[in-house]
Structures are given as C-alpha cells and as structure tokens.
Amino acid sequence: MTGTSNNGNSALNAARRQRELLALGDGGAIDVLVIGGGITGAGVALDAASRGLRTVLVEKHDLAFGTSRWSSKLVHGGLRYLASGGVGIAHESAVERDILLTRTAPHLTRALPQVVPLLPGIGVAQRSLIRAGFVAGDVLRRTAGTSAAVLPRSRRVAAAEALRFAPTVRRDGLRGGLLAWDGQLVDDARLVVAIARTAALHGASILTRVEATDVTGDSAVLRDRLTGETLTVRAHSVVNATGVWADEVDPSIELRPSRGTHLVFDAAAFGGLTASLTVPIPGSISRFVFAFPAAHNRVYLGLTDEEAPGPVPDVPHATDSEIDFLLDTVNTVLREPLTRNDIRGTYAGLRPLLRTAGNTTADISREHAVLRAPTGVITVVGGKLTTYRKMAEDTVDAALAGSGLTARPCRTRDLPLVGAVSGAARDRIPAPTRLVECYGSEATAILELSRATPALADPVAPGLDVTAAEFTFATTHEGALDADDLLDRRTRLGLVVADRAAAEPAAKAAFE
C-alpha cells in the first residue's frame, strides 16, 4: 500500500489540477488509475482513496460528461427488476437507496411520491398488478431497513389527492390514484461532482480534460487535452470505468447500448406537479412513462428504451419517434394534451449494457459486471447511479485481489459526501431551500460569496434561479473549467437552449 492521507481539501479547480498533473509527472507510479469520471469512476476513486490507496482519476471531458448526466435522476428501489425475477439486484438497489437517502447523500436526495392515475384506460387486471408491484416495493423497502418515515408506504388515494399531486390529470373518469414513494436526486451530475470531491478530500487526484490511451493492466498514456502534452503513468491497478466507451479502452468488452430519452418542460406545463406522474405504457406490466419535477423549475418526461447500435456519439440525441411516443403516452392521462410546442428541450443518454444472449435491450440485465481483461485491465460496467457505491466496492476488491496491494476494508457505506447534512441540522442552515437542496451544508458558502461581493447575488440571467455566486463556487470548488461545465453539468441550465444562451455571458465572466 502506498498510503495517502486525507488532505482535508475537497475543492477542485484549475490550479489544483495543474499542480497534481505536475506532481504526477512522466513515469509517475500510483496504486489505482481510474479511467472515466462518471458516477462509476468517481465511485471507484472514492472507494480506493478512502481505503488509503494512492488514486488518480482521469476524465477525457468533464465530470459527468457521459451517461451519468442523462439519467432519470431516480434513486431506485429496484422494483422494476422484481418484475423480471431479479430479486438480488432489486434488494441491492433498495439497500443502496437507503444508504444514499439516510447516510451518504441526504442533502442531494429526497423522497419522491409517484402517482398512477386510475383512469378508464387502466383495466382491473393492470391496476391489480401495479398495486401488487407497489406492495412488493414496500417489502423491498422494509427488508432494506428503510423506515416509512423516510419513504412512506404505498396506498390508494382518492381522486382529489391524486389531483393535488398532479393537477393537470384528466378529471373525467378519474377513480383515484395509486401512490408509492421512491428516491429522487436533486441532480445526477451534482451527485457525481460530490463523489469526486469527496474522493479528492481523501487524497485522490481528479484530473478532467485528461484522456487515457494505450491502456494496459499496469500503465496508460495520459494526454492533457488543454495542452496536448502526454505523460505515461504506471499503476498497480488500472480500472476502466468509461461506460459506453468501455470497448475503446478494452476491446475484449462487448456492449449493446440502449438509448433513453427525456423531454424538458416548464413546470407550468404540468401545473405545479409535485410527484412523479406515472403512466403505464400500454401493453407492458412493468414499464412506465413518467413526468417529474426537476431543477430550475422544470419537469422532465421520460423514458424510452431503444437499441442504439453503431458509433457512440459524445452527446446522443432524441429521435422524432421517441418524442412522439413520450408525448402520446403522457397525453393519455392529461386534461389538455401537450404538444411539441410545449417542449423546451430534450436529452438522451446511452445505457452501458453488456451484450448478452438476451432479446431486447429492455430485457438485458441492469446488473453490473466487474471483468478482468487478459491485459489485466479491470472493467466495471453496467449497473446504475443508485448502485455506484457497491459497484465501486466490488471493483476495488477485484483490483486488490490481483495486484499485490493491501488496503483497509471498504468504508464508503458510512462516508458522507461533501455537504451531507440532514434532519434538524439541515433545517437550521441559514440559507434558502433551493441552495440547501443543491449544496447541503455548503449553501452558506454561496451566501458568503454574495455577501462579500454583492453583484454575485444577481441571477445569471433575468428569470433564472442560479446566481453568479454559484458559478464562482463551481470554478473554485467544483472543478468547472469552462462555461460549458457551468451550464451543462454544475447547473442544468443548458437543457433549454434559450436559457443557455441567456446565461452564457455570466458563465464566461466567471472565468475572467
């Protein structure tokens, strides 16, 4: 073990990146090299660093540049996996949900009510199946140790209560709703940044705009995309956590990506939705389209599951047929149908699914896999945001088994992420709710910036809920290196083209 200490500093910024790249130097030797700065790579870096291993994470673009920012932002109880008989993965998911909600990230997660409106389109058999599923979800919750105070038990609600959660649902024929609770992230990219910063707090180097090439089981060439310079690093263990790009780093991996698309609306289009409005997809017993409240006063509507063969794009795009499918499905329960004119933006992501002998991508297991290539590279792929911690634990265990390294046991179950705060301590934070929901205990740091420089209290553009102080904090503490990082990942303003354009001058100004 090449020990490393908790250096007490979670702040990521350009100066630290520069310093740590220099310190690494050409021919530098470390314990664990992690390639990929999505949820999986960030999780592995945190696990390894917190066990005392000298850890470097390299990310070609920015933290959460890939699939990890295109999710539905749910902390799943794994109910859907039960439908396909995956009891083990469902339980694992529920356990990890509990860890996120109650211990590691209570500031970035919340309980999300999910309402299925009972309209004439839902027959008795379908209603019974959904209800049975929700009851199974309650059992999963209890066996994972999550109390009903954290996630209330499911129940049937009257029409008036269903409408309070989802005011734009059709009233005629509404016989009430089925209500269940799951976990929701404030934002997926923010979770990735919080994990990466916590890894940095434990001594990991988090190097964005650095691409790994020529990867072997104990080395890689690292190219600084800002300067073009390269250096070779030697590592006891090399972890490939590059998601849908995993086969570029390790050609022995075979992937079968599937695209999931969401549409973005103003919150007003759903009339003050406070739940996930959950609409069964006709003909399926376990798949739903759902609309849910999201950052910046928006509602996202998802989700598709389409095979996506061929070259993997940096940024995937929604197709016309996916947009029609989502609109058509949600409109089956709305009083006033939504049209394309209501859509403010779209986003799409590719699930990094392993190729198996299965049928459609929707049937492929979402379980994660940790695979050791003949070269010695360890690839971790699959899984989901919710289970990142367990994926990381399994990966570092595998890395240790093959490398001659020794380290402390995994400790991430009880390791709060930066900003973690809950209960009364959270209620006492003297900052607006929105800031506390995004930054947890660090919300006061944003306010202090505004106090020191009052102009930073201004919104980044009229009508937007982000202040210039948040952009500044992202450059000094959250590793943002340019305006795109601020608009597309530290905040999600970039999902609406007009908002992005309005906020861009402030984003650029944050680097002047």
Ligand X SMILES: Cc1cc2nc3c(=O)[nH]c(=O)nc-3n(C[C@H](O)[C@H](O)[C@H](O)COP(=O)(O)OP(=O)(O)OC[C@H]3O[C@@H](n4cnc5c(N)ncnc54)[C@H](O)[C@@H]3O)c2cc1C
* Region of 71-79, 174-182, 271-279, 461-469 interacting with ligand X (CB under 6 A): 71-79
Using CB under 6 A, which residues numbered 212 to 241 contact ligand X? 212, 241
Please identify which residue in 17, 46, 66, 343 interacts with ligand X, judged by CB under 6 A: 66
Query: What distance in Å separates the CA atoms of residue 129 and residue 135, rounded to the nearest whole number?
Result: 10
Binds ligand X (CB under 6 A): choice among 17, 384, 389, 500: 384
Contact call for residues 151 and 111 (beta carbons, < 8 A): yes
For residues 112 and 89, give the distance between their C-alpha atoms in angstroms, rounded to a whole number.
21
Of the residues 166, 193, 195, 385, which one makes contact with ligand X according to CB under 6 A: 385
Tokens representing 275 are: 């739940």
**Cβ 506 to ligand X, closest distance in Å?**
25
Binder of ligand X out of 168, 198, 205, 242 (CB under 6 A): 242
Task: Report which residue type is found at 235.
Answer: A
Q: How far is the CB of 311 from ligand X (least distance, A)?
A: 13
Going from the C-alpha of 71 to that of each of 16, 49, 499, the distances in angstroms are: 29, 26, 21
Taking the C-alpha atoms of residue 307 and residue 380, their distance in angstroms, rounded to an integer, is 21
- Check binding of 38 to ligand X (CB under 6 A): yes
Measured from the CB atom, the residue of 255 and 496 that comes closer to ligand X is: 255
Residues paired with residue 433 on neighbouring β-strands, in sequence order: none
Percentages (nearest 5) of helix, strand, coil residues in the chain: 40, 25, 40
Among 12, 21, 30, 37, binds ligand X (CB under 6 A): 37
What is the rounded CA–CA span in Å between residue 10 and residue 223? 24
Closer CB to ligand X, residue 225 or residue 451? 225
Q: Which residue's CB is nearer to ligand X, number 70 or number 81? A: 70
Q: Return the residues of window 259-318 that contact ligand X according to CB under 6 A.
A: 260, 303
- Kindly state the smallest distance separating residue 303's Cβ from ligand X, in Å: 6
Report the alpha-carbon distance of residue 239 to residue 216 in Å, rounded.
10
Contact between 39 and ligand X per CB under 6 A: yes
Select from 10, 346, 386, 475 the one that contacts ligand X (CB under 6 A). 386
What is the rounded (10 degree) CA torsion for 143, 148, 152, 153? 50
383 scored as a contact of ligand X (CB under 6 A): yes
- CA–CA separation, 366 and 187 (whole Å): 21
The 3-state secondary structure of 55-104, one letter per residue: EEEEECCCCCCCHHHCCCCEECCCHHHHHCCCHHHHHHHHHHHHHHHHHH
Min separation Cβ 19 and ligand X, Å: 20
Residue 77 CB, shortest distance to ligand X, in Å, is 10
Chain residues 400-439 in contact with ligand X, contact rule CB under 6 A: none
Per CB under 6 A, residues contacting ligand X are: 35-41, 58-61, 65-68, 70-74, 76, 211-212, 241-245, 249, 260, 303, 349-352, 383-386
